Chain A
Amino acid sequence: MIIAERKPIKEIEKMIMPYKKVLIVGCNTCVTICMAGGEKEVDILASSLNLLFKSKHKEIEFIKRVVERQCEKEFVEELKEDIASVEAVLSLGCGVGVQKIVEVFPHIPVYPGLNTKSIGAPEEEGVWKEKCVACGDCILDKTGGICPIARCSKKLLNGPCGGSQDGKCEIDKNLDCAWQLIYDRLKLLGKLDQLEEIIPVRDWSKANDGGPREVIREDVRLKNGK
Protein backbone atom coordinates (compact mmCIF):
# COMPACT_ATOMS: atom_id res chain seq x y z
CA MET A 1 0.00 0.00 0.00
CA ILE A 2 0.94 3.63 -0.42
CA ILE A 3 1.97 5.37 2.78
CA ALA A 4 1.32 9.08 3.11
CA GLU A 5 1.01 11.73 5.79
CA ARG A 6 -0.77 15.04 5.98
CA LYS A 7 1.11 18.16 5.02
CA PRO A 8 1.47 20.84 7.70
CA ILE A 9 -1.79 22.79 7.91
CA LYS A 10 0.06 26.09 7.29
CA GLU A 11 1.24 24.73 3.93
CA ILE A 12 -2.31 23.69 3.03
CA GLU A 13 -3.59 27.09 4.15
CA LYS A 14 -1.34 28.88 1.65
CA MET A 15 -2.59 26.70 -1.20
CA ILE A 16 -6.31 27.24 -0.63
CA MET A 17 -6.18 30.81 0.70
CA PRO A 18 -7.29 32.44 -2.58
CA TYR A 19 -10.54 30.44 -2.82
CA LYS A 20 -14.01 30.68 -1.31
CA LYS A 21 -15.27 27.17 -1.94
CA VAL A 22 -13.03 24.11 -1.91
CA LEU A 23 -13.71 20.40 -2.36
CA ILE A 24 -11.70 18.15 -0.05
CA VAL A 25 -11.46 14.67 -1.54
CA GLY A 26 -10.25 11.67 0.41
CA CYS A 27 -9.56 8.17 -0.82
CA ASN A 28 -10.95 4.98 0.68
CA THR A 29 -7.96 2.82 -0.12
CA CYS A 30 -4.29 3.05 0.98
CA VAL A 31 -4.46 6.48 2.65
CA THR A 32 -7.46 5.37 4.70
CA ILE A 33 -5.41 2.48 6.08
CA CYS A 34 -2.46 4.72 6.94
CA MET A 35 -4.90 7.23 8.47
CA ALA A 36 -3.84 10.13 6.29
CA GLY A 37 -6.65 10.68 3.80
CA GLY A 38 -9.74 8.66 4.63
CA GLU A 39 -13.19 9.86 5.64
CA LYS A 40 -12.09 10.67 9.19
CA GLU A 41 -9.07 12.63 8.05
CA VAL A 42 -11.17 14.62 5.56
CA ASP A 43 -13.48 15.59 8.44
CA ILE A 44 -10.57 16.46 10.72
CA LEU A 45 -8.83 18.58 8.10
CA ALA A 46 -12.03 20.42 7.15
CA SER A 47 -12.74 21.10 10.81
CA SER A 48 -9.15 22.25 11.46
CA LEU A 49 -9.26 24.58 8.46
CA ASN A 50 -12.65 25.94 9.52
CA LEU A 51 -11.17 26.82 12.92
CA LEU A 52 -8.05 28.29 11.33
CA PHE A 53 -9.94 30.54 8.94
CA LYS A 54 -12.49 31.49 11.59
CA SER A 55 -9.63 32.77 13.72
CA LYS A 56 -8.48 34.86 10.74
CA HIS A 57 -12.02 36.08 10.02
CA LYS A 58 -11.97 34.49 6.61
CA GLU A 59 -14.59 32.11 5.35
CA ILE A 60 -13.97 29.20 3.02
CA GLU A 61 -16.74 26.70 2.39
CA PHE A 62 -15.62 23.11 2.27
CA ILE A 63 -17.38 20.24 0.55
CA LYS A 64 -16.18 16.85 1.80
CA ARG A 65 -16.11 13.74 -0.35
CA VAL A 66 -14.31 10.41 -0.31
CA VAL A 67 -13.94 8.26 -3.41
CA GLU A 68 -13.25 4.55 -3.44
CA ARG A 69 -9.93 4.84 -5.30
CA GLN A 70 -8.62 8.24 -6.31
CA CYS A 71 -6.15 6.63 -8.71
CA GLU A 72 -8.91 5.37 -11.02
CA LYS A 73 -10.72 7.52 -13.54
CA GLU A 74 -14.10 5.81 -13.06
CA PHE A 75 -14.21 6.67 -9.35
CA VAL A 76 -12.84 10.19 -9.85
CA GLU A 77 -15.50 10.93 -12.45
CA GLU A 78 -18.09 10.60 -9.67
CA LEU A 79 -16.86 13.99 -8.46
CA LYS A 80 -18.11 15.78 -11.58
CA GLU A 81 -21.07 17.61 -10.00
CA ASP A 82 -19.13 18.60 -6.88
CA ILE A 83 -16.21 19.88 -8.89
CA ALA A 84 -18.55 22.03 -10.99
CA SER A 85 -19.60 23.84 -7.81
CA VAL A 86 -16.16 24.65 -6.34
CA GLU A 87 -13.14 26.80 -7.20
CA ALA A 88 -10.43 24.34 -6.22
CA VAL A 89 -9.83 20.79 -5.07
CA LEU A 90 -7.72 19.71 -2.11
CA SER A 91 -6.84 16.06 -2.54
CA LEU A 92 -6.16 13.82 0.43
CA GLY A 93 -5.12 11.05 -1.93
CA CYS A 94 -1.58 10.00 -2.72
CA GLY A 95 0.37 11.69 -5.52
CA VAL A 96 -1.33 9.38 -8.00
CA GLY A 97 -4.76 10.47 -6.80
CA VAL A 98 -3.93 14.16 -7.19
CA GLN A 99 -2.70 13.57 -10.75
CA LYS A 100 -5.71 11.46 -11.67
CA ILE A 101 -8.07 14.26 -10.61
CA VAL A 102 -5.98 16.66 -12.71
CA GLU A 103 -6.26 14.33 -15.71
CA VAL A 104 -10.02 13.92 -15.39
CA PHE A 105 -10.72 17.59 -14.54
CA PRO A 106 -7.93 19.61 -16.18
CA HIS A 107 -9.66 22.97 -15.76
CA ILE A 108 -9.74 23.15 -11.98
CA PRO A 109 -6.76 23.73 -9.66
CA VAL A 110 -5.98 20.60 -7.63
CA TYR A 111 -3.72 20.76 -4.57
CA PRO A 112 -2.04 17.98 -2.60
CA GLY A 113 -2.98 17.77 1.07
CA LEU A 114 -0.64 14.85 1.71
CA ASN A 115 3.01 14.05 1.28
CA THR A 116 3.27 10.62 -0.31
CA LYS A 117 6.04 8.82 1.53
CA SER A 118 6.50 5.24 0.39
CA ILE A 119 5.18 1.82 -0.53
CA GLY A 120 4.98 -0.04 2.73
CA ALA A 121 2.91 -1.81 5.30
CA PRO A 122 1.46 -1.25 8.77
CA GLU A 123 4.09 -2.50 11.24
CA GLU A 124 2.07 -1.99 14.41
CA GLU A 125 -0.79 0.33 15.39
CA GLY A 126 0.25 3.79 14.26
CA VAL A 127 3.50 2.74 12.55
CA TRP A 128 3.91 2.24 8.81
CA LYS A 129 7.20 1.19 7.27
CA GLU A 130 8.62 1.30 3.78
CA LYS A 131 9.10 -2.13 2.19
CA CYS A 132 9.40 -1.54 -1.54
CA VAL A 133 10.67 1.24 -3.79
CA ALA A 134 9.11 -0.12 -7.00
CA CYS A 135 12.54 -0.45 -8.57
CA GLY A 136 11.11 -2.51 -11.43
CA ASP A 137 13.36 -5.57 -11.16
CA CYS A 138 12.52 -7.61 -8.07
CA ILE A 139 15.33 -9.61 -6.46
CA LEU A 140 13.40 -10.84 -3.42
CA ASP A 141 13.95 -14.42 -4.62
CA LYS A 142 17.67 -13.98 -3.99
CA THR A 143 17.45 -12.16 -0.68
CA GLY A 144 15.16 -14.33 1.40
CA GLY A 145 12.12 -12.15 0.71
CA ILE A 146 13.64 -9.06 2.31
CA CYS A 147 14.38 -6.15 0.01
CA PRO A 148 17.83 -4.58 0.36
CA ILE A 149 16.95 -1.83 -2.14
CA ALA A 150 14.16 -0.53 0.11
CA ARG A 151 15.50 -1.52 3.50
CA CYS A 152 19.30 -1.21 3.36
CA SER A 153 20.39 2.42 3.80
CA LYS A 154 23.04 1.90 1.13
CA LYS A 155 20.90 -0.23 -1.18
CA LEU A 156 23.67 -2.84 -1.17
CA LEU A 157 23.11 -5.85 -3.39
CA ASN A 158 25.83 -7.88 -1.70
CA GLY A 159 25.79 -6.94 1.95
CA PRO A 160 26.21 -6.46 4.76
CA CYS A 161 28.66 -3.59 4.91
CA GLY A 162 31.10 -2.95 7.75
CA GLY A 163 28.57 -0.68 9.40
CA SER A 164 26.28 -3.52 10.41
CA GLN A 165 26.57 -3.88 14.18
CA ASP A 166 24.47 -6.10 16.44
CA GLY A 167 21.90 -6.37 13.71
CA LYS A 168 21.52 -2.62 13.43
CA CYS A 169 22.53 -0.13 10.74
CA GLU A 170 25.30 2.40 11.32
CA ILE A 171 23.09 5.11 9.80
CA ASP A 172 20.53 4.76 12.58
CA LYS A 173 20.86 2.46 15.57
CA ASN A 174 17.10 1.94 15.59
CA LEU A 175 17.16 0.67 12.03
CA ASP A 176 17.45 -3.06 11.46
CA CYS A 177 20.30 -4.01 9.12
CA ALA A 178 18.48 -5.41 6.07
CA TRP A 179 21.38 -7.73 5.34
CA GLN A 180 21.28 -9.11 8.87
CA LEU A 181 17.56 -9.80 8.33
CA ILE A 182 18.38 -11.43 5.00
CA TYR A 183 21.06 -13.60 6.65
CA ASP A 184 18.72 -14.62 9.48
CA ARG A 185 15.91 -15.49 7.09
CA LEU A 186 18.12 -17.54 4.76
CA LYS A 187 19.54 -19.33 7.79
CA LEU A 188 16.00 -20.14 8.94
CA LEU A 189 15.25 -21.56 5.50
CA GLY A 190 18.52 -23.49 5.44
CA LYS A 191 19.56 -21.63 2.32
CA LEU A 192 22.63 -19.71 3.47
CA ASP A 193 24.47 -20.99 0.40
CA GLN A 194 22.40 -18.50 -1.63
CA LEU A 195 24.58 -15.76 -0.17
CA GLU A 196 27.54 -17.12 -2.11
CA GLU A 197 25.89 -16.01 -5.31
CA ILE A 198 27.07 -12.53 -6.24
CA ILE A 199 24.19 -10.35 -7.34
CA PRO A 200 25.42 -8.43 -10.40
CA VAL A 201 25.19 -4.66 -10.84
CA ARG A 202 21.58 -3.67 -11.37
CA ASP A 203 20.06 -2.37 -14.55
CA TRP A 204 18.62 0.83 -13.12
CA SER A 205 16.91 1.68 -16.41
CA LYS A 206 14.06 -0.47 -15.07
CA ALA A 207 13.65 1.94 -12.16
CA ASN A 208 12.14 5.38 -12.65
CA ASP A 209 15.34 7.21 -13.60
CA GLY A 210 14.36 7.11 -17.26
CA GLY A 211 10.98 8.77 -16.75
CA PRO A 212 7.60 7.27 -15.92
CA ARG A 213 7.32 3.56 -16.53
CA GLU A 214 4.41 1.84 -18.18
CA VAL A 215 2.95 -1.64 -17.97
CA ILE A 216 0.94 -2.74 -20.99
CA ARG A 217 -1.28 -5.78 -21.34
CA GLU A 218 -2.34 -5.87 -24.97
CA ASP A 219 -4.89 -8.62 -24.31
CA VAL A 220 -7.00 -6.38 -22.08
CA ARG A 221 -6.68 -3.09 -23.99
CA LEU A 222 -9.87 -1.80 -25.54
CA LYS A 223 -8.44 1.07 -27.57
CA ASN A 224 -5.19 1.77 -29.43
CA GLY A 225 -4.45 -1.95 -29.31
CA LYS A 226 -3.82 -4.12 -32.30
Chain B
Amino acid sequence: MEFEPEIVIFCCQYCTEAADTAGASHLGYPANIKLMELPCSGKISIIYLLKAFEEGADGVCVIGCEEGACHFLRGNLRAKKVVEYTQKILEEIGINKERLKMFNLSSLESQKFVQISKEITEKIRELGPIF
Protein backbone atom coordinates (compact mmCIF):
# COMPACT_ATOMS: atom_id res chain seq x y z
CA MET B 1 0.00 0.00 0.00
CA GLU B 2 1.31 3.43 -0.90
CA PHE B 3 2.54 5.51 2.01
CA GLU B 4 0.16 8.36 2.82
CA PRO B 5 1.99 11.07 4.73
CA GLU B 6 0.51 13.06 7.60
CA ILE B 7 1.08 16.73 6.91
CA VAL B 8 0.44 19.66 9.20
CA ILE B 9 0.22 23.15 7.77
CA PHE B 10 0.37 26.09 10.17
CA CYS B 11 -1.32 28.85 8.25
CA CYS B 12 -1.91 32.50 9.06
CA GLN B 13 -5.56 33.60 9.26
CA TYR B 14 -5.32 35.49 6.00
CA CYS B 15 -3.71 32.64 4.09
CA THR B 16 -6.36 30.20 5.34
CA GLU B 17 -8.77 32.26 3.22
CA ALA B 18 -6.88 30.86 0.25
CA ALA B 19 -7.64 27.36 1.56
CA ASP B 20 -11.31 28.29 2.09
CA THR B 21 -11.56 29.68 -1.42
CA ALA B 22 -9.89 26.56 -2.77
CA GLY B 23 -12.60 24.50 -1.06
CA ALA B 24 -15.41 26.78 -2.22
CA SER B 25 -14.04 26.67 -5.77
CA HIS B 26 -13.95 22.85 -5.66
CA LEU B 27 -10.19 22.89 -6.13
CA GLY B 28 -9.22 19.67 -4.43
CA TYR B 29 -6.14 19.50 -2.24
CA PRO B 30 -4.70 16.36 -0.62
CA ALA B 31 -6.82 14.96 2.19
CA ASN B 32 -3.79 14.22 4.37
CA ILE B 33 -3.27 17.93 5.05
CA LYS B 34 -4.21 19.09 8.55
CA LEU B 35 -4.62 22.83 8.59
CA MET B 36 -3.89 24.74 11.80
CA GLU B 37 -4.91 28.38 11.73
CA LEU B 38 -2.75 30.96 13.47
CA PRO B 39 -3.61 34.64 13.93
CA CYS B 40 -0.35 35.38 12.10
CA SER B 41 2.48 33.13 10.90
CA GLY B 42 4.62 35.07 13.41
CA LYS B 43 2.79 33.17 16.15
CA ILE B 44 4.62 30.00 15.15
CA SER B 45 7.16 28.72 17.65
CA ILE B 46 9.84 26.05 17.63
CA ILE B 47 7.87 23.91 20.04
CA TYR B 48 4.71 23.95 17.85
CA LEU B 49 6.78 22.63 14.96
CA LEU B 50 8.61 19.96 16.96
CA LYS B 51 5.38 18.86 18.68
CA ALA B 52 3.72 18.42 15.30
CA PHE B 53 6.46 15.95 14.33
CA GLU B 54 6.33 14.33 17.75
CA GLU B 55 2.59 13.81 17.41
CA GLY B 56 3.02 11.98 14.13
CA ALA B 57 3.39 14.48 11.29
CA ASP B 58 5.72 13.31 8.50
CA GLY B 59 5.95 16.83 7.14
CA VAL B 60 5.17 20.28 8.48
CA CYS B 61 4.91 23.59 6.77
CA VAL B 62 4.20 27.16 7.69
CA ILE B 63 2.32 29.46 5.34
CA GLY B 64 2.43 33.20 5.81
CA CYS B 65 1.62 36.24 3.70
CA GLU B 66 4.04 37.38 1.01
CA GLU B 67 7.13 39.12 2.33
CA GLY B 68 6.35 42.81 2.74
CA ALA B 69 2.61 42.10 2.96
CA CYS B 70 2.25 40.76 6.51
CA HIS B 71 -0.81 42.26 8.22
CA PHE B 72 1.30 42.49 11.37
CA LEU B 73 4.30 43.92 9.51
CA ARG B 74 7.04 41.39 10.31
CA GLY B 75 5.25 38.25 11.49
CA ASN B 76 6.08 36.30 8.34
CA LEU B 77 9.77 37.29 8.54
CA ARG B 78 9.84 36.10 12.13
CA ALA B 79 8.18 32.84 11.07
CA LYS B 80 10.87 32.38 8.41
CA LYS B 81 13.59 32.67 11.06
CA VAL B 82 11.80 30.28 13.42
CA VAL B 83 11.45 27.74 10.59
CA GLU B 84 15.15 28.09 9.70
CA TYR B 85 16.19 27.64 13.33
CA THR B 86 13.94 24.60 13.71
CA GLN B 87 15.39 23.13 10.52
CA LYS B 88 18.82 23.31 12.18
CA ILE B 89 17.46 21.39 15.19
CA LEU B 90 15.99 18.79 12.83
CA GLU B 91 19.36 18.38 11.15
CA GLU B 92 21.01 18.02 14.55
CA ILE B 93 18.71 15.15 15.44
CA GLY B 94 19.09 13.46 12.09
CA ILE B 95 15.73 14.39 10.52
CA ASN B 96 15.78 15.65 6.94
CA LYS B 97 15.15 19.39 7.11
CA GLU B 98 13.13 19.16 3.89
CA ARG B 99 10.32 17.83 6.06
CA LEU B 100 9.78 21.38 7.29
CA LYS B 101 9.15 24.23 4.88
CA MET B 102 7.92 27.79 4.81
CA PHE B 103 5.78 29.18 1.99
CA ASN B 104 4.35 32.61 1.29
CA LEU B 105 1.13 33.40 -0.50
CA SER B 106 -1.66 35.93 -0.51
CA SER B 107 -5.22 35.28 0.62
CA LEU B 108 -6.39 35.34 -3.01
CA GLU B 109 -4.06 32.63 -4.25
CA SER B 110 -6.18 29.54 -3.77
CA GLN B 111 -4.52 27.88 -6.78
CA LYS B 112 -1.11 28.42 -5.17
CA PHE B 113 -2.37 26.94 -1.90
CA VAL B 114 -3.46 23.82 -3.76
CA GLN B 115 -0.11 23.70 -5.54
CA ILE B 116 1.81 24.04 -2.24
CA SER B 117 -0.32 21.30 -0.64
CA LYS B 118 0.35 18.96 -3.54
CA GLU B 119 4.05 19.85 -3.64
CA ILE B 120 4.64 19.21 0.06
CA THR B 121 2.59 16.00 -0.04
CA GLU B 122 4.60 14.72 -3.00
CA LYS B 123 7.90 15.68 -1.36
CA ILE B 124 7.05 13.90 1.90
CA ARG B 125 5.71 10.87 0.05
CA GLU B 126 9.09 10.73 -1.68
CA LEU B 127 10.96 11.01 1.66
CA GLY B 128 8.83 8.28 3.24
CA PRO B 129 7.61 7.97 6.83
CA ILE B 130 9.51 10.03 9.37
CA PHE B 131 10.16 6.99 11.63
Q: List residues of A whose CB falls within 8 A of some B CB.
A: 8-10, 40, 43-44, 47-52, 54-55
Interface magnitude class on chain B: 10 to 19
Which DSSP category, helix, strand, loop or mixed, fits chain B's interface?
Answer: helix
Kindly list chain B residues whose C-beta atoms are within 8 Å of the C-beta of A40. Answer: 45-47
Chain B residues within CB distance 8 Å of chain A:
45-47, 50-51, 53-54, 89, 92-95, 130-131
Q: Give the nearest-CB partner of B51 in chain A.
A: A47
Query: With A and B bound together, what is the CA distance between A47 and B54 in angstroms?
Result: 7
Q: Is the CB of B50 within 8 A of A9?
A: no
Q: With the chains together, A128 CA to B124 CA distance in Å?
A: 38
Asked if residues A10 and B92 are in contact (CB atoms below 8 Å), the reply is: yes
CA distance A40 to B46 in the complex (A): 9
Instruction: Given contact pairs A47-B51, A48-B50, A50-B54, enumerate 5 new A-B contacts (beta carbons under 8 Å).
Output: A8-B92, A43-B47, A51-B53, A51-B54, A55-B131
Verify A44–B93 contact, CB threshold 8 A.
no
Q: Which residues of A contact B131 (CB under 8 A)?
A: 54-55
Closest-by-CB residue of A relative to B50 is A47
Q: Give A8 Cβ to nearest chain B Cβ, in Å.
A: 7
CA distance A49 to B50 in the complex (A): 10
**Taking the nearest CB of chain A, how far is it from the CB of B27, in angstroms?**
33
Specify which chain B residues have a CB less than 8 angstroms from the CB of A50 in the assembled complex: 54
Q: With contacts A44-B89, A47-B54 known, is A52 near B94, CB below 8 A?
A: yes
User: Which residues of B lie under 8 Å from residue A52 when comparing CB positions?
Assistant: 93-94
Q: B93 touching A51 by the CB < 8 A rule?
A: yes
Within the complex, the shortest CB–CB distance from B109 to chain A, in Å, comes to 31
